[in-house]
Amino acid sequence: MADRFIVLALKKADSTDFSKPLDKFIANTYDKERGQFKGQIDELQTLRNNATKRLDKHESAVQMLLRYYDQLNVMEAKMPVSESEVRVTFTWQDAFDKGSLFGTRKHSAKSLPFEKSCVLFNAAALSSQIAVTQNLDTDDGLKLTAKYFQTAAGIFEYLREYIPSNIPQGTTPDLSIECLTALSALMLAQSQETFYLKASQDKMKDGIVAKIAMQTGNNYADAFKNMQTPGVRALWEKDWLPMVSGKQAMYHAVAEYHQALVAKASGAIGEELARLKHASSLMQQAESYSSTLTDAKNLRNKITKAYQAAQKDNDFIYHELVPDKDRIPAVQGAAIGKPIRLNNPASANFKDIFADVVPLNIHNAVSRYNERQQDLVTSELKKLTDNTQQLKSLLAELNLPAAIEDTGGNSVPQSLLDKSAALIQDGGVQKIDSMFNELPTLLQRNQEIVTETTRMMDDEEKDDKQMRQRFKEKWTRMPSDKLTASLRIEMNKYKGIIENALKADAIVRDKYNKSRNAMIVLSKGEVELKNYIPKTGSGNAVANSKAVVNIKRLIDQIDGIIAERQVIESELKSATCDITPKFLAALAADGVLQDEDISKQNLDSTYNVYVNQIADTISRQRDIETQLRAANQEFLAERQSRSGANKREETLSDLAAAYDAFTELTKHLMEGTKFYNDLTNLLVKTQTKVSDLIFARKTELQGLLGDLQQDLSKADNQTPSIPSHHQKAAAPQRPPPPSSSAPPTSTSSIPASAQPPAAAPQPNYAVAPPAQQPQYPGAPQPMYAPQGQPYPYPTQQPQPGQPMPYQYPYQGQQPVYPPHPSQQYVPMPGTYPPPPQGYPQYPQYPPPQ
């Protein structure tokens, strides 16, 4: 498979030794004995040796490179490599350098960013090598190929962003921004090509395959443009640029071929031929650029065969004009292949070799930070404990909530509470109001469609009558009132359905108006229900008084504060923040550590949210304490009075009935909304039939009118007969006019042999060809489009170069055209699907039959 795709070579590295520099750094930082971390250093050395040796083309090798990269990543904050700290020199060769008498292109640096970039480059290059070893005949092989190319593209894209700010001193050409940009684009194009191969093997729809193929060509065009950038063009193998240039043309040809099949399926023979012709031209370009393109010959033969078959059908059957390629819509690409960005960590199951390595001054700073952290947590926890105990003491002093628990017969029945909860959960009166507000819009939309459709038929009938009055018996086509009779019956039926639906809407709204106030009460929950329902007995009246309600509300708030504080306490105790990376970064950047400022900033960012929450609960507690004392005084005064007349049972009955009405109204309104939407779909279909009929009738009218006017013109210009005494010889008879039934000749300029013409010479394009926009005349405006509710009204027009065929009875002389493959107009009416049923049960919307 390597002959299909481009693979990249790996960078080569010189050996380096971590032992002495790292051992010295750790010993000096920790004040430890030399060699104490020998095992970890040896493991790092082995990891580097394995990463720079000859690698197998296997996923495990990629993971090994990424594991070494991850280790370098975490080491950068612990053991900075530089001229003044850990003195380790890394030397790497340019991946595209083949060597010469003057040596090889190398670069050396005491820099972990440089080492990391070289390792990542090799991970991307190795991914490209693994990609081409997969079996493209299997689904798993295609998926793996695409994955590895996308991984390579993502790594190169990351390096392009990372290197400029982290390796300012420069490096080898293969790590230049221009080279990385080109390689990322190339790998992305190859991943998109793999998705095309999968779509083709899976026999996806031609429209989808065309979009994927077009994007493949576009991606190769982008890669070709970037690979020609000065400074990197000389890096590539000699056959790379021809292959990439050829692929951009070939996959654009593939896209045109599959889009031609889409056009064929829809009966657009002219467009099919134009696309096949363009595809043939692109294939000739592709093969002229590169002779090593896989599948090029088979594809060319397939396009040629399809072109010949389509040309033959067009010459003998359809006779469609073949538009220029610039006048057909461009195929839009579908980007499936996308770069896979690096994760952090990049390797699977990464573990830091030097997890325990922390400099001594960092360790001391962490200890001081932990002391500050503990002091802060202890202080805030004490605030929580003291204020919560203060609340409990207040409740005990006021004998709450025991003093207000004597409810007697004042409680709300559980069934009513359940109904209230269900009503609230289902949206309450707001939901009903919203659904009622939608109905007028839906109704108006349907009424407008009926009105506009009827007007269209009236206007057409008026025009037909005018022509009939003008030309009398010569106007021989079927009268409009007979042709549209069934359509008018259908529209009248819809008018009746809408009128009956209006009556049903009025009944539903009247029922809602009667129950709305009770629904509002149910929507307010248990506390408002208790206030609304009349009480029985003095105890009940006191227990459900305004003061009691306020006390219960305040007690609920107290319970909420206590529960909230329990959560805060738990989160406060468990909140942690690893300050070590910040200390390490500050030390690496500044050379000294100002841990006090960093510690304060970190403590604030970690614990300020809890400090503020605790302060907020204390503030709310003070307000609740004041309100609770006042409400308790009011409660003590109200316990001496008695309640008024009892209407409890009547109220409970009304509330229960309101819930039943709510469920019923919700059901009816949902059905009504669906009814109007379904009716809209049926009306739009009917209007489309009328619109198509009107269009065909207008075309027929123009043709018939032209014939009649031509006959009148001939009669007016007829030469008067010569008197017999002036005649010397009989005038010769005029030859008969040509037969109107003669078949039209093909307007195609393509030879009858149907051999695809030779491609016109075109320049090599480095980017994807610009999208060609069609230049066909604009389609007629839809016959109806209510403001704010655009409907897709398909209109049929004559195909380019082909008149619209007549479809209605006509006795006069008319030209005979061959049938067009697209859908023909047929006399109306037909059989239409029944519209949706109305509201069942209460009230019934009228059936449309």
Q: What is the CATH number of the domain that holds 56?
A: 1.25.40.280
Q: Is residue 310 part of a domain?
A: yes
CA distances from 398 to 113, 405, 553, 621, 804 (A): 70, 13, 15, 16, 93
Domain total in the chain: 2
In a domain, 122, yes or no: yes
Would 553 be classed as within a structural domain? yes
* Residue 58 contacts residue 130 (beta carbons within 8 Å): yes
The C-alpha atoms of residue 277 and residue 265 are separated, in whole angstroms, by: 17
Residue 287 shares a structural domain with residue 384: no
Three-state SS string across 83-98, please? Answer: CCCECCCEEEECCCCC
Concatenated DSSP letters for 619-680? Answer: HHHHHHHHHHHHHHHHHHHHTTS------HHHHHHHHHHHHHHHHHHHHHHHHHHHHHHHHH
Cα gap 760→278, rounded to integer Å = 10
Taking each continuous run of H as one helix and of E as one strand, the counts in the chain are 21, 2
CB 346 within 8 A of CB 127: no
User: Taking a C-beta distance cutoff of 8 angstroms, is the pair 594, 559 a contact?
Assistant: no
DSSP H or E stretch at residue 107: strand 106-109
Residue 793 lies in a domain: no
DSSP3 helix / strand / coil % (the chain, rounded to 5)? 65, 0, 35
With contact defined as beta carbons under 8 Å apart, do 22 and 86 qualify?
A: yes
Residue 90, beta-bridge partner list: 109
On the CB side of 449, CA atoms within 13 Å amount to 30
Same domain, 322 and 364: no
663-668-669 Cα angle (round to 5)? 100
Q: Quick check: 492 and 686 in contact, CB under 8 A?
A: no
Positive or negative, the CA dihedral 597, 601, 604, 607 is: negative
Give the C-alpha separation, 677 to 479, whole Å: 34
The token pair that represents 116 in the structure block: 């990391």
CB-CB contact of 507 with 407 (8 Å): no
Domain identity same for 238 and 312: yes
Q: Could you give the 3-state DSSP secondary structure of residue 274?
A: helix
740 found inside a domain: no
* Residues 178, 45: Cα–Cα separation, whole Å: 32
Query: Which phi-psi region, left, alpha or beta, contains residue 825 (left: φ > 0; alpha: ψ -120 to 50)?
Result: beta
Residues 234 and 141 in one domain: yes
The answer to whether residue 603 sits within a structural domain is: yes
Q: Provide DSSP, 576-611.
A: ----HHHHHHHHHHHSS--HHHHHHHHHHHHHHHHH
One domain, residues 293 and 376: no
CATH number for the domain harbouring residue 601: 1.20.120.560
760: nearest Cα among 201, 366, 277: 277
492/487 Cα distance (integer angstroms): 9
Locate 437 and state its tokens.
């507000």
Q: Return the pLDDT at 404.
A: 67
Same-domain pairing of 322 and 380: no
In order, the DSSP letters of 334-366 are -------PPPSS-STT---TTTT---HHHHHHH
Give CA–CA dist 579/373, Å, rounded: 11
Q: Residue 386: what are its φ and ψ, rounded to 5°?
A: -65, -45
Same structural domain, 47 and 173? yes
The CA–CA distances, whole Å, from 459 to 463, 736, 779, 795 equal 6, 40, 21, 18
Count CB-CB contacts under 10 A for residue 469.
Answer: 9
Domain co-membership, 266 together with 158: yes
Q: What is the pLDDT of residue 776?
A: 32
Predicted pLDDT at 482:
84
pLDDT digits (tens, 9 = 90+) for 100-154: 656 678 899 989 999 999 999 999 999 999 999 999 999 999 999 999 999 999 9
Chain centroid to Cα 203, Å, comes to 24
571's CB contacts (< 8 A; 6+ apart) are 610
Q: Is residue 794 part of a domain?
A: no
* pLDDT one-digit tens code per residue, 580-606: 788 878 877 777 788 888 898 889 988
In a shared domain, residues 369 and 221:
no
| Residue where a domain terminates, one of 327, 349, 374 | 327
Please tell me the distance from the alpha carbon of residue 184 to that of residue 153, in angstroms, as a whole number.
4
Whether the CB-CB separation of 413 and 652 falls below 8 Å is answered with yes
Residue at a domain's end among 646, 678, 696: 646
Dihedral sign (CA 605, 606, 612, 613): positive
In a domain, 125, yes or no: yes
The segments of the chain whose pLDDT lies below 70 read 1-2, 29-31, 84, 100-103, 359-360, 396-411, 413, 415, 536-544, 638-650, 652-653, 714-849
| Separation of alpha carbons 328 and 128, rounded Å | 37
CA 636-642-648 angle, to 5 degrees, is 120
Return the structure tokens found at 87. Answer: 């003195």
Distance CA(73)–CA(198), nearest Å, equals 37
Q: Looking at residue 468, what is its pLDDT?
A: 86
Same domain? 370 vs 319 = no
What is the distance between the alpha carbons of residues 116 and 11, in angstroms, rounded to a whole number?
A: 12
DSSP character for 106? E
Q: Are residues 248 and 380 in the same domain?
A: no
Please give the Cα distance from 20 to 102 (Å, whole number). Answer: 33
**Placement of tokens 């930082």 in the chain:** 29
DSSP secondary structure code for residue 36 in this structure: T
Structure tokens of 461? 């009938």
Domain containing 365 equals 360-397+535-646
Report which of 663, 629, 40 is spatially closest to residue 354, judged by C-alpha positions: 40
Q: Token digits for 130?
A: 């693994």
Last residue of a domain, one of 598, 628, 646: 646
- Its sign, for the CA torsion 135, 137, 138, 144, is positive
Q: How many angstroms separate the CA atoms of 401 and 399, rounded? A: 6
**In this predicted structure, what is the pLDDT of residue 544?**
63
CA distance 705 to 693: 18
User: Taking the chain, what is the end-to-end CA distance rounded to the nearest angstrom?
Assistant: 66
Distance CA 74, CA 39 (A): 18
The CA distance from 196 to 792, in Å, is 32
Do 84 and 3 meet the contact criterion of CB atoms below 8 Å apart?
no
Please tell me whether the peptide bond between 345 and the residue prior to it is cis, using omega within 30 degrees of 0: yes
- pLDDT tens per residue, range 751-803: 333 344 444 334 344 444 444 433 333 333 333 333 333 333 333 343 444 43
Tell me the C-alpha distance between 690 and 698, whole Å: 12
| Cβ partners under 8 Å of residue 771, min gap 6 | 330, 332
- Do residues 231 and 372 share a domain? no
Q: Are 492 and 727 in contact (CB under 8 A)?
A: no
